[in-house]
Amino acid sequence: MSNKNIKLTLSYNGANFSGWQNQKSGRTVQETIEHAIKTITGEKVKLTGCGRTDSKVHAISYTANFKTDSRLAPAQIKNALNATLPEDIRIKTASIAKPDFHSRYGAKRKTYRYLILCGEENPFLKEFVCNVKGELNIPEMKKAAAHFIGEHDFSAYQAAGSAIKNTTRTIYKITIKKEKFTLDNSIKLIAIEITANGFLYKMARNIIGTLLYAGKGKLSLQAIPSIINSGDRRKAPPTASASGLYLKQVLY
Protein backbone atom coordinates (compact mmCIF):
# COMPACT_ATOMS: atom_id res chain seq x y z
CA MET A 1 0.00 0.00 0.00
CA SER A 2 1.52 3.30 -1.06
CA ASN A 3 1.22 6.59 0.79
CA LYS A 4 0.23 4.97 4.09
CA ASN A 5 -0.95 7.21 6.91
CA ILE A 6 1.01 6.09 9.97
CA LYS A 7 -0.32 6.91 13.42
CA LEU A 8 2.19 7.04 16.26
CA THR A 9 1.61 7.20 19.99
CA LEU A 10 4.70 8.24 21.88
CA SER A 11 6.02 9.52 25.17
CA TYR A 12 8.81 11.99 25.79
CA ASN A 13 10.74 13.68 28.53
CA GLY A 14 10.48 17.34 27.59
CA ALA A 15 13.23 18.61 29.92
CA ASN A 16 15.77 19.07 27.12
CA PHE A 17 13.37 20.07 24.35
CA SER A 18 12.14 23.50 23.28
CA GLY A 19 8.66 22.03 22.90
CA TRP A 20 7.00 19.85 20.27
CA GLN A 21 6.78 22.20 17.31
CA ASN A 22 9.61 22.90 14.86
CA GLN A 23 11.20 26.31 15.29
CA LYS A 24 14.22 28.25 14.06
CA SER A 25 16.30 27.56 17.12
CA GLY A 26 16.22 24.93 19.85
CA ARG A 27 15.83 21.16 19.88
CA THR A 28 12.23 20.05 19.27
CA VAL A 29 10.42 16.73 19.47
CA GLN A 30 8.85 17.09 16.02
CA GLU A 31 12.16 17.79 14.28
CA THR A 32 13.91 14.95 16.13
CA ILE A 33 11.32 12.37 15.04
CA GLU A 34 11.14 13.70 11.47
CA HIS A 35 14.92 13.31 11.22
CA ALA A 36 14.65 9.73 12.53
CA ILE A 37 11.92 8.92 9.99
CA LYS A 38 14.16 10.20 7.19
CA THR A 39 17.00 8.06 8.49
CA ILE A 40 14.95 4.84 8.34
CA THR A 41 12.81 5.52 5.22
CA GLY A 42 14.87 8.01 3.20
CA GLU A 43 11.78 10.25 3.06
CA LYS A 44 11.47 13.83 4.21
CA VAL A 45 8.04 13.82 5.89
CA LYS A 46 5.90 16.30 7.75
CA LEU A 47 4.96 14.87 11.12
CA THR A 48 1.62 16.21 12.34
CA GLY A 49 1.18 16.38 16.11
CA CYS A 50 -1.99 16.38 18.20
CA GLY A 51 -1.09 19.76 19.67
CA ARG A 52 1.60 22.13 20.75
CA THR A 53 3.51 21.45 23.95
CA ASP A 54 5.85 24.10 25.34
CA SER A 55 9.47 23.93 26.32
CA LYS A 56 10.06 21.57 29.29
CA VAL A 57 6.54 20.05 29.04
CA HIS A 58 6.38 16.24 28.96
CA ALA A 59 4.07 13.72 27.29
CA ILE A 60 2.83 10.42 28.63
CA SER A 61 0.83 9.59 25.51
CA TYR A 62 1.15 11.96 22.53
CA THR A 63 -0.38 11.24 19.12
CA ALA A 64 1.18 12.10 15.75
CA ASN A 65 0.83 10.95 12.15
CA PHE A 66 2.71 11.10 8.86
CA LYS A 67 2.32 9.88 5.28
CA THR A 68 4.88 7.48 3.84
CA ASP A 69 5.54 5.33 0.77
CA SER A 70 7.84 3.08 2.79
CA ARG A 71 7.27 -0.68 2.57
CA LEU A 72 8.09 -1.05 6.27
CA ALA A 73 5.26 -2.46 8.39
CA PRO A 74 4.07 -0.38 11.36
CA ALA A 75 5.84 -2.69 13.84
CA GLN A 76 9.07 -2.32 11.87
CA ILE A 77 8.68 1.47 11.86
CA LYS A 78 8.18 1.48 15.61
CA ASN A 79 11.23 -0.69 16.28
CA ALA A 80 13.43 1.20 13.83
CA LEU A 81 12.44 4.58 15.26
CA ASN A 82 13.14 3.45 18.83
CA ALA A 83 16.54 2.20 17.71
CA THR A 84 17.27 5.57 16.09
CA LEU A 85 15.68 8.10 18.45
CA PRO A 86 17.38 9.48 21.57
CA GLU A 87 16.42 7.98 24.90
CA ASP A 88 14.13 10.88 25.86
CA ILE A 89 11.60 9.87 23.16
CA ARG A 90 9.93 6.45 22.91
CA ILE A 91 7.42 5.27 20.32
CA LYS A 92 4.73 3.28 22.15
CA THR A 93 2.67 2.12 19.15
CA ALA A 94 2.61 2.51 15.38
CA SER A 95 -0.36 1.62 13.19
CA ILE A 96 -1.94 2.33 9.83
CA ALA A 97 -4.67 4.94 10.19
CA LYS A 98 -7.43 5.89 7.80
CA PRO A 99 -6.22 8.18 4.98
CA ASP A 100 -8.08 11.18 6.41
CA PHE A 101 -6.92 10.69 10.01
CA HIS A 102 -5.45 13.92 11.38
CA SER A 103 -3.90 13.77 14.84
CA ARG A 104 -4.72 17.40 15.63
CA TYR A 105 -8.08 18.08 14.01
CA GLY A 106 -9.49 14.67 14.86
CA ALA A 107 -8.88 14.98 18.60
CA LYS A 108 -12.10 15.11 20.67
CA ARG A 109 -10.72 15.31 24.21
CA LYS A 110 -7.35 15.87 25.81
CA THR A 111 -6.24 15.35 29.38
CA TYR A 112 -3.31 17.17 30.94
CA ARG A 113 -1.73 16.02 34.18
CA TYR A 114 0.20 18.32 36.52
CA LEU A 115 2.39 17.25 39.45
CA ILE A 116 3.15 19.45 42.45
CA LEU A 117 5.65 18.78 45.23
CA CYS A 118 5.11 20.80 48.40
CA GLY A 119 8.11 21.48 50.61
CA GLU A 120 11.72 20.50 50.01
CA GLU A 121 13.00 19.77 46.50
CA ASN A 122 13.71 16.16 45.60
CA PRO A 123 16.69 15.11 43.42
CA PHE A 124 14.64 12.48 41.58
CA LEU A 125 11.82 14.87 40.70
CA LYS A 126 13.60 18.13 39.90
CA GLU A 127 12.61 18.24 36.22
CA PHE A 128 9.23 16.56 36.62
CA VAL A 129 7.24 18.53 39.21
CA CYS A 130 6.34 22.06 40.16
CA ASN A 131 7.98 22.67 43.53
CA VAL A 132 5.90 24.80 45.93
CA LYS A 133 7.06 26.05 49.29
CA GLY A 134 4.66 25.36 52.14
CA GLU A 135 1.32 23.56 52.00
CA LEU A 136 -1.63 23.92 49.64
CA ASN A 137 -5.28 23.92 50.69
CA ILE A 138 -6.69 21.19 48.46
CA PRO A 139 -10.38 21.75 49.41
CA GLU A 140 -10.03 25.41 48.35
CA MET A 141 -8.34 24.36 45.11
CA LYS A 142 -11.24 22.01 44.35
CA LYS A 143 -13.72 24.83 44.95
CA ALA A 144 -11.70 27.05 42.61
CA ALA A 145 -11.59 24.32 39.97
CA ALA A 146 -15.39 24.07 39.93
CA HIS A 147 -15.57 27.56 38.37
CA PHE A 148 -13.78 26.33 35.24
CA ILE A 149 -16.08 23.40 34.49
CA GLY A 150 -18.28 23.83 31.44
CA GLU A 151 -18.09 25.93 28.29
CA HIS A 152 -16.37 29.30 28.67
CA ASP A 153 -14.48 31.86 26.67
CA PHE A 154 -11.00 31.28 28.06
CA SER A 155 -9.35 34.40 26.60
CA ALA A 156 -8.15 35.33 30.10
CA TYR A 157 -6.29 32.02 30.22
CA GLN A 158 -4.64 32.16 26.82
CA ALA A 159 -1.05 33.39 26.67
CA ALA A 160 -0.03 36.04 24.16
CA GLY A 161 1.34 34.84 20.83
CA SER A 162 -1.57 32.73 19.60
CA ALA A 163 -3.44 33.46 16.36
CA ILE A 164 -6.49 31.39 17.36
CA LYS A 165 -9.68 33.46 17.14
CA ASN A 166 -12.19 31.05 18.69
CA THR A 167 -11.25 31.02 22.37
CA THR A 168 -14.28 29.06 23.62
CA ARG A 169 -13.48 25.66 25.09
CA THR A 170 -15.31 23.12 27.27
CA ILE A 171 -13.70 21.67 30.37
CA TYR A 172 -15.33 18.38 31.33
CA LYS A 173 -13.46 17.52 34.49
CA ILE A 174 -10.75 18.71 36.88
CA THR A 175 -9.48 16.35 39.58
CA ILE A 176 -7.10 17.26 42.40
CA LYS A 177 -5.74 14.60 44.72
CA LYS A 178 -2.76 13.60 46.84
CA GLU A 179 -0.45 10.89 45.55
CA LYS A 180 2.70 9.14 46.74
CA PHE A 181 6.02 8.92 44.94
CA THR A 182 6.70 5.22 44.48
CA LEU A 183 10.47 5.49 45.10
CA ASP A 184 9.91 7.22 48.44
CA ASN A 185 6.47 7.00 50.07
CA SER A 186 7.33 9.83 52.46
CA ILE A 187 7.20 12.25 49.53
CA LYS A 188 3.66 13.46 48.95
CA LEU A 189 2.64 14.82 45.60
CA ILE A 190 -0.49 16.64 44.45
CA ALA A 191 -1.79 15.64 41.03
CA ILE A 192 -4.14 17.84 39.01
CA GLU A 193 -5.80 16.50 35.86
CA ILE A 194 -7.79 18.64 33.42
CA THR A 195 -9.89 17.12 30.63
CA ALA A 196 -11.27 19.39 27.90
CA ASN A 197 -12.28 19.36 24.24
CA GLY A 198 -9.21 21.48 23.54
CA PHE A 199 -6.72 23.86 25.11
CA LEU A 200 -5.57 27.33 24.14
CA TYR A 201 -1.91 28.34 24.23
CA LYS A 202 -0.69 27.72 27.81
CA MET A 203 -4.32 27.42 28.99
CA ALA A 204 -3.67 24.40 31.22
CA ARG A 205 -0.72 26.05 32.97
CA ASN A 206 -2.60 29.32 33.36
CA ILE A 207 -5.58 27.58 34.99
CA ILE A 208 -3.23 25.69 37.29
CA GLY A 209 -1.60 29.00 38.23
CA THR A 210 -5.01 30.17 39.46
CA LEU A 211 -5.56 26.92 41.38
CA LEU A 212 -2.16 27.35 43.06
CA TYR A 213 -3.06 30.89 44.11
CA ALA A 214 -6.33 29.61 45.55
CA GLY A 215 -4.46 26.86 47.40
CA LYS A 216 -2.05 29.39 48.87
CA GLY A 217 -4.87 31.69 50.00
CA LYS A 218 -3.73 34.43 47.61
CA LEU A 219 -6.95 34.57 45.60
CA SER A 220 -10.58 34.86 46.59
CA LEU A 221 -12.75 32.14 45.08
CA GLN A 222 -15.37 34.76 44.27
CA ALA A 223 -12.87 36.52 41.99
CA ILE A 224 -12.48 33.61 39.58
CA PRO A 225 -15.74 34.02 37.58
CA SER A 226 -14.98 37.71 37.03
CA ILE A 227 -11.46 36.85 35.83
CA ILE A 228 -12.87 34.32 33.35
CA ASN A 229 -15.54 36.74 32.15
CA SER A 230 -13.07 39.62 31.79
CA GLY A 231 -11.19 37.97 28.93
CA ASP A 232 -8.12 39.81 30.23
CA ARG A 233 -5.02 37.68 30.80
CA ARG A 234 -3.52 40.42 33.00
CA LYS A 235 -6.20 39.87 35.65
CA ALA A 236 -5.35 36.19 36.17
CA PRO A 237 -2.52 34.86 38.38
CA PRO A 238 0.87 33.93 36.88
CA THR A 239 1.43 30.88 34.68
CA ALA A 240 2.46 27.70 36.50
CA SER A 241 5.88 26.28 35.63
CA ALA A 242 6.23 23.96 32.64
CA SER A 243 8.19 21.21 34.37
CA GLY A 244 5.18 19.70 36.15
CA LEU A 245 2.96 19.41 33.07
CA TYR A 246 2.29 16.22 31.08
CA LEU A 247 -0.01 15.53 28.16
CA LYS A 248 -1.62 12.38 29.51
CA GLN A 249 -4.22 11.27 26.95
CA VAL A 250 -5.81 12.20 23.63
CA LEU A 251 -9.15 10.71 22.61
CA TYR A 252 -10.49 10.50 19.03
Among candidates 197, 215, 213, which has minimal Cα distance to 154? Answer: 197
List pLDDT tens digits, range 43-73.
Answer: 999 999 999 899 999 999 999 999 999 999 9
Q: Does CATH place domain 112-251 in 2.30.30.20?
A: no
User: What's the pTM?
Assistant: 0.94
- Please check the confidence at residue 166 and state whether its pLDDT lies above 90: yes
What CATH architecture does domain 4-97 belong to? 2-Layer Sandwich (3.30)
Residue 152's SS3 state is strand
Q: Please say whether the beta carbons of 26 and 72 come within 8 A.
A: no
Among 54, 100, 184, 232, the active-site one is 54
Query: Residue 16 contacts by C-beta under 8 Å, 6 or more apart in sequence?
Result: 27, 88
* 126-140 tens-digit pLDDT: 899 999 998 999 999
Q: How far apart are CA 151 and CA 193, in angstroms?
A: 17
Catalytic status, residue 54: yes
Domain range annotation of the chain: 4-97, 112-251
pLDDT at residue 169 is higher than 50 = yes
Give yes or no on whether 4-97 and 112-251 have one common fold.
yes
Sequence-distant (6+) residues with CB within 8 A of 211 are: 141, 144, 145, 176, 192
